[in-house]
Amino acid sequence: MAKGKSGPISTLISLAVWLTGVLVSLAVGFGMIAETLAVPYIPVIVTVIAGWIVVVLTIVSVVLAIIDRV
């Protein structure tokens, strides 16, 4: 997308990309927490902690993005 364009279609695409990123981040984070996703050669506890970090940071970024738009 070209910089400086802020039409309705561009805004809709940006929203879709942002929402997709949030959903994927949450899916990966919760998958790591539930031990569904494993990282080879890394202990399970490290993967679970990393999953929690991903989930918390994603939620914080969503809240900050909403506050920034208001």
Residue 7, domain member (yes or no): no
Examine residue 5 and state whether it is found in any structural domain, yes or no: no
pLDDT tens sequence across 8-42 = 899 899 999 999 999 999 999 999 999 999 899 99
Angle of CA points 12, 1, 29, to nearest 5°: 60
pLDDT in tens, 46-70: 999 999 999 999 999 999 999 998 8
Q: How many domains does the chain divide into? A: 1
| Through-space distance between the first and last CA atoms of the chain, rounded to whole angstroms | 24
